[in-house]
């Protein structure tokens, strides 16, 4: 007799605090730039519900916490009443299918320009170090950045508070929790990493000081909505947006250990092999020390397929595995992994276009009459 297909480690149930997950395959946060005017749109109802399974965890795309948080056209926000209302039917659709839905909340910091900022002001950051123009992930456009303004020490509590309010708004919209975006060179990472952070106040210098802003946000958000509804994403090894660290391992470990005192739902880390957003490289570095230091649920992401995802769970290197591009292109990814079916290929050219259907909700499901009885 063949083994039951559900015997694969990725399909084993998992209890994440109060949430009963039916499997380990998580939808990674994916910016899609289809929230016109920063307001989530009805076409996101279909997009997210296509990727929902009963008991599956989904993390919604990076969503701005305030009007200074934005740096990408048509990325969603959650600081206005209109945005909160617009999220509600999307969350309801995911819940109707039994999904567990966290919202990723972010502030881009200096990865912005004055065109995205209120009154055309300079973006804010930990530093006033400018970011050189970068080719966008679509490989064509070049993003231009306005040199940032260094936040004054006395302004920092206001930004922490913006994250708190965003989390409160996410609860009002019906989300099950929030994921604080501390990865990929955005504002929180601009504080964490010594390539950017050149502050001399209590938010810069030592590891403890550079991690203070992130941990104050974790604390404020946890106090607001309950730690059991809070996750954080970190990418200690990445250096996107000229935001690297001279000792990534020490940084990751310090954060993993410090997070333990808040009892948050999960810590989500990006694999060191993701040296650029799109490419895997061989590296001897590993998330294992952080996985072992962190006491809660550990989510790993970055370059996983079916086989190495199964291995990560089996070898206890992660509790959950988040899939980005494969889930983007395969709305029924958990089912395809279960059946070990071929996967749709993703099309990079349509990742960030504004079309409400193309490259968004038109990736095909497994044809039901091709599946085995």
Q: Rounded to the nearest 10 degrees, what angle do helices 212-225 and 248-259 cross at?
A: 30
Distance between CA atoms of 84 and 46, rounded to whole angstroms? 18
Distance between CA atoms of 271 and 288, rounded to whole angstroms? 10
**What does the per-residue mask of binding to ligand FMN show for 101-120, with x meaning CB under 6 A?**
---x----------------
Residue 301 near ligand FMN by CB under 6 A: yes
Among 102, 145, 254, 323, binds ligand FMN (CB under 6 A): 323
Residue 184 near ligand FMN by CB under 6 A: yes
Question: Which residue's Cβ has the minimum distance to ligand FMN?
Answer: 324
* Bridging pattern class, strands 149-150 and 124-125: parallel
Distance between CA atoms of 373 and 368, rounded to whole angstroms? 10
Reply yes or no on whether 186 is catalytic: yes
Task: Answer whether 35's CB lies under 8 Å from 44's CB.
Answer: yes
> Where does this chain touch ligand FMN (CB under 6 A) — which range of 28-36, 239-247, 331-339, 362-370?
28-36
Q: Give the burial string for 113-139 (b: 16+ CB within 10 Å, else e).
A: beebbeeeebbbbbbebebeebeebee
Residue 325 near ligand FMN by CB under 6 A: yes
Residue 319 near ligand FMN by CB under 6 A: no
Smallest distance from ligand FMN to CB 324, Å: 3
Q: Rg of the Cα trace of the chain?
A: 20
Residues 59-78 that bind ligand FMN (CB under 6 A): 61-62
Smallest distance from ligand FMN to CB 218, Å: 16
Among 122, 274, 299, 300, binds ligand FMN (CB under 6 A): 274
Measuring CA to CA, which residue among 201, 106, 105, 115 is closest to residue 150?
A: 201
Neighbours of 13 (CB within 10 A): 10
Residue 324 near ligand FMN by CB under 6 A: yes
- Name the active-site residue from 47, 48, 186, 323: 186
Residue 302 near ligand FMN by CB under 6 A: yes
The set of catalytic residues is 186
Residues in contact with ligand FMN by the rule CB under 6 A: 28-31, 61-62, 104, 181, 183-184, 233, 270, 274, 277, 301-304, 323-326, 351
């Amino acid at each position: 007799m063949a083994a039951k297909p559900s015997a694969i480690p990725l399909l084993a149930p998992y209890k994440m605090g109060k949430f009963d997950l039916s499997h380990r395959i998580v939808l990674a946060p994916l910016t899609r730039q289809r929230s016109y005017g920063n307001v989530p749109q009805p076409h996101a109802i279909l997009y997210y519900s296509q990727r929902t399974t009963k008991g599956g965890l989904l993390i919604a795309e990076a969503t701005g916490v305030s009007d200074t948080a934005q740096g990408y056209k048509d990325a969603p926000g959650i600081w206005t009443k209109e945005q909160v209302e617009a999220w509600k039917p999307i969350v309801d659709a995911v819940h109707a299918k039994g999904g567990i839905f966290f919202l990723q909340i972010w502030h881009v910091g200096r990865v912005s320009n004055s065109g995205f900022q209120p009154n055309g002001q300079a973006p804010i950051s930990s530093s006033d170090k400018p970011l050189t123009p970068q080719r966008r992930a679509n490989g064509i456009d070049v993003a231009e950045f306005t040199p940032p303004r260094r936040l004054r020490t006395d302004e920092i509590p206001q930004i922490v508070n913006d994250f708190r309010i965003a989390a409160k708004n996410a609860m009002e919209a019906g989300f099950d929790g929030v994921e604080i975006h501390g990865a990929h060179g955005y504002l929180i990472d601009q504080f964490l990493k010594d390539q950017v952070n050149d502050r001399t106040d209590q938010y810069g210098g030592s590891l403890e000081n550079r991690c203070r802003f992130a941990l104050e946000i974790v604390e404020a958000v946890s106090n607001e909505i309950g730690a059991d509804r809070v996750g954080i994403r970190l990418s200690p090894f990445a250096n996107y947006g000229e935001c690297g660290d001279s000792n990534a391992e020490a940084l990751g470990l310090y954060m993993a250990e410090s997070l333990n005192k808040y009892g948050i739902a999960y810590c989500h880390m990006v694999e060191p092999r993701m040296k650029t957003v799109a490419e895997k490289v061989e590296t001897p570095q590993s998330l294992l020390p952080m996985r072992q230091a962190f006491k809660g649920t550990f989510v790993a992401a970055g370059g996983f397929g079916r086989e190495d995802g199964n291995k990560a769970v089996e070898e206890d290197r992660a509790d959950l595995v988040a899939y980005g591009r494969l889930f983007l292109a395969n709305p029924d990814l958990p089912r395809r992994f279960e059946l070990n079916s071929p996967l749709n290929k993703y099309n990079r050219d349509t990742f960030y276009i504004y079309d409400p259907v193309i490259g968004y909700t038109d990736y095909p499901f497994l044809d039901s009459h091709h599946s085995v009885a």
